[in-house]
């Protein structure tokens, strides 16, 4: 295996610190401690707020400093190209060093700008410095080449550091800190014996092969242990991660494990098994180190780098929001880096929490693995932030965010209370409809079973009386007249019962009632039913039936239509109704009690309706009501 310098055949002289002889596979180390992540929704700031954030003094100062770092980095890359020209020994392949340095710098500056309080940005810049110094090992200038020799394996240590510190840039467990410490120790102190006393010692020192060999063994042992510990920590971290953490960690951890295997074995395995040249294997290893920042930014785009510093900009963001209301939940999700964050709003009258839609929240079903931070304003509770402590380990950052958005949250709370009141009103109106329908059904049933049955019996008795008084013509005629009056009363009562609540609707449901209603129309009416055999709530059935009845009554009375149509179908959780005719059109909402009644019935169930009635083009009423 080779380090981040070009292959030996392309260097000014061989390096005793070749990491291929220093880091060999060894036993893995146990690791413990569960990582704590602070996830965020990507690397980019909200487009609508970028201009306002740029005005913040903190952001302006930071960007001036980062611009200076960028200028220094570009100057250093230019010096590297001068010190190690692509036209020199090694050829264009040595361009991988300045390209790698530039990539590390750009991604590091981007990470630092977007997440100032995360250490991933500075860590990427540290890795860029390591690659820059290692690249000097290919210089024809002896002092610069000596610096490159001493830093030849430093990029390996920074790679370990990046893998274990992601996403916050901080090492969260003792095993991670031990692995990083071992990596830096192997890349610096333990590399000195081979560099100072090897076959071509630096700084004019006398060769001491025994010390160089001893240092090489120590460097190889510690370096192998560092790599093994890194792989172990990454594996245990994935196994212990929550699904949300695993979504971010898995790709980067997989890259880390594959990178470690390549860096440890490529220089021996690829030439031996696949016949690769040493130079090709070396360039593959260099490529792994080069794409490391790409892997980091890819994981960050999936929600990885902590966005803690945006808490300081949160107040500025909210203070400059104009036009459309800010989505406080989305802002907090970006600022705290928890895509599962929820906003609860306090209802002081009912002493309960509500969600954004105004629905009550069952506190007994609260997930104990989540944390709740109450939000107050002027000494009163206005809501709470519910978040995942594994994704937002810093409680103080949550409190800072809650204080910053308290006023905006109070406004959202009032909106939630209004929605809750509207929902309560809607439920109350629906209960009134249900009670009224139930009463109509009871009255209709009582009339049908009681008074109507008695009239039928009276009619039969009158008929029997007429037959019994056949010898008395005058009495027989009065009996027949009485029977006919009773029959008319019974028919009128049946019409009344049907108007109150049709028997077909009560006994056989909406489909049968609609068919019966259509059959009774004096004009042809086409009926289309697509209810999929679903049972509908009684309030929905009665409302839809009476809307159809009122609409068809208007067709017969006012439309001067030759035919009509009725379509009823269920789509998802809604029932769709359409009543149309080919009449003269010209109907207007509110122009009569019929259309007003239709609108009121549909509105009570929380539905919506639409009237289209161009002059001479017929009338079409469409309605949609929830049916669950």
- Three-class secondary structure assignment of 305-339: CCCCCHHHHHHHHHHCCCCCCCCHHHHHHHHHCCC
Report percent pLDDT > 70 for the chain: 73
Cis, bond preceding 364 (omega within 30 deg of 0): no
* The domains spanning 8-301 and 507-626 adopt the same CATH topology: no
* Helix H or strand E encompassing 48: none
pLDDT tens digit string along 496-529? 666 666 767 777 888 888 898 899 899 999 999 9
What's the pTM?
0.48
Order the strands of the 574-581 sheet from edge to edge.
525-530, 564-571, 574-581, 620-626, 608-612
CATH code linked to domain 8-301:
1.20.1070
| C-alpha dist (Å) from residue 564 to 136, 377, 623 | 88, 60, 16
- Residue 609, strand partner residues: 623
User: Where do the structural domains in the chain lie, given as residue ranges?
Assistant: 8-301, 320-422, 424-500, 507-626
Helix axis angle for 593-604 and 538-554, nearest 10°, is 160
What is the token pair recorded at 537?
């709530």
Tokens linked to 603: 């509105």
Please state, for a pLDDT cut of 90, what percent of the chain lies above it.
8
CB count within 10 Å of CB 252 equals 23
In contact, 80 and 4? CB cutoff 8 Å: no
Taking each continuous run of H as one helix and of E as one strand, the counts in the chain are: 21, 9
DSSP state for residue 44 in the 8-state scheme: S
pLDDT tens digit sequence for 137-151? 888 888 888 888 888
Distance CA 239, CA 215 (A): 36
- Say which residue the tokens 């907090």 belong to: 332
Q: What's the confidence (pLDDT) of residue 445?
A: 65
Q: Which of 91-105, 130-144, 237-251, 533-547 has the lowest mean pLDDT?
A: 237-251
Query: 264 is written with which tokens?
Result: 């440890």
Contact 296, 118 (CB under 8 A): no
Interval 33-80: pLDDT, tens: 333 333 333 333 333 444 444 445 666 777 788 888 888 888 888 888
Residue 258 CA to its chain's centroid (Å): 30
Structure tokens given for 170: 């901080």
Report the pLDDT value the prediction gives residue 628, as an integer from 0 to 100: 67
- Contacts of residue 259, Cβ cutoff 8 Å, sequence gap at least 6: 159, 163, 288, 292
Task: Specify which of 65-79, 137-151, 216-230, 451-465 reaches the highest per-range mean pLDDT.
Answer: 216-230
Beta-carbon neighbour count of residue 273 at 10 Å?
A: 9
Highest CATH level, class, for 507-626: alpha beta
In DSSP terms, 622 is beta-bridged to 578, 610
Residue with the larger pLDDT of the pair 352 and 178: 178
Q: What is the pLDDT of residue 435?
A: 62
**Per-residue pLDDT for 209 more than 90?**
no
């Amino acid at each position: 295996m080779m380090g981040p310098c070009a292959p030996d055949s392309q260097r000014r002289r061989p390096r005793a610190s070749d990491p291929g002889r220093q880091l060999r596979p060894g036993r893995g180390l146990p690791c413990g401690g569960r990582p704590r992540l602070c996830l965020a929704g990507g690397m980019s700031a909200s487009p609508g707020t970028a201009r306002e954030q740029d005005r913040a003094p903190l952001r302006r100062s930071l960007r001036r400093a980062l611009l200076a770092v960028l200028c220094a980095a570009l100057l250093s890359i230019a010096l590297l190209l001068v010190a190690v020209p692509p036209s020199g020994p090694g050829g264009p392949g040595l361009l991988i060093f300045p390209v790698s340095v530039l990539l590390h710098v750009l991604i590091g500056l981007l990470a630092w700008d977007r997440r100032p309080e995360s250490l991933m940005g500075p860590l990427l810049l540290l890795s860029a410095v390591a690659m820059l110094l290692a690249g000097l090992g290919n210089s024809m200038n002896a002092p610069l080449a000596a610096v490159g020799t001493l830093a030849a394996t430093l990029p390996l240590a920074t790679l370990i550091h990046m893998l274990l510190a992601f996403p916050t840039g901080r090492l969260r467990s003792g095993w991670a800190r031990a692995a990083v410490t071992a990596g830096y120790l192997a890349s610096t102190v333990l590399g000195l014996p081979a560099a100072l006393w090897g076959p071509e010692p630096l700084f004019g020192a006398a060769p001491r092969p025994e010390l160089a060999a001893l240092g090489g063994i120590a460097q190889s042992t510690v370096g192998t242990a560092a790599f093994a510990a890194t792989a172990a920590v990454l594996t245990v971290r994935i196994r212990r991660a929550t699904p949300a953490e695993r979504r971010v960690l898995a790709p980067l951890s997989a890259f880390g494990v594959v990178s470690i295997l390549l860096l440890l074995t490529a220089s021996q395995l690829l030439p031996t098994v696949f016949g690769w040249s040493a130079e090709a294997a070396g360039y593959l290893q260099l490529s792994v180190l080069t794409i490391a920042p790409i892997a980091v930014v890819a994981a960050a785009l999936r929600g990885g780098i902590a966005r803690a510093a945006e808490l300081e900009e949160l107040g500025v963001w909210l203070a400059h929001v104009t036009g459309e209301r800010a989505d406080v939940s989305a802002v907090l999700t970006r600022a705290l880096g928890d895509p599962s964050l929820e906003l609860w709003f306090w209802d002081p009258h009912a002493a309960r929490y509500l969600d954004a839609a105004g629905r009550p929240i069952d506190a007994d079903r609260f997930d104990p693995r989540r944390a709740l931070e109450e939000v107050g304003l002027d000494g009163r509770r206005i809501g709470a932030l519910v978040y995942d402590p594994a994704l937002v380990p810093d409680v103080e950052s949550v409190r800072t965010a809650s204080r910053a958005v308290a006023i905006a949250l109070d406004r959202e709370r009032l909106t939630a209370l209004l929605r809750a009141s509207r929902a309560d009103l809607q439920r109350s109106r629906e209960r009134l409809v249900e009670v009224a329908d139930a009463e109509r059904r009871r009255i209709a049933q009582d009339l049908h079973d009681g008074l109507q049955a008695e009239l039928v019996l009276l009619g039969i008795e009158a008929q029997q009386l007429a037959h019994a008084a056949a010898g008395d013509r005058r009495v027989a005629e009065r009996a027949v007249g009485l029977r006919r009056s009773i029959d008319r009363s019974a028919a009128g009562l049946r019409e009344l019962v049907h108007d109150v609540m049709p028997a077909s609707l009560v006994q056989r449901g909406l489909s049968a009632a609609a068919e019966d209603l259509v059959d009774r129309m004096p004009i042809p009416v086409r009926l289309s039913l697509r209810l999929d055999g679903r049972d509908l709530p009684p309030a929905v059935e009665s409302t839809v039936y009476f809307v159809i009845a009122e609409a068809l009554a208007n067709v017969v009375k006012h439309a001067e239509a030759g035919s009509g149509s009725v379509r009823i179908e269920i789509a998802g959780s809604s029932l769709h109704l359409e009543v149309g005719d080919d009449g003269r059109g010209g109907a207007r909402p509110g122009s009569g009690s019929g259309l007003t009644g239709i609108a009121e019935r549909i509105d009570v169930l929380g539905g919506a309706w639409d009237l289209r009635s161009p002059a001479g083009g017929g009338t079409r009423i469409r309605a949609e009501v929830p049916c669950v």
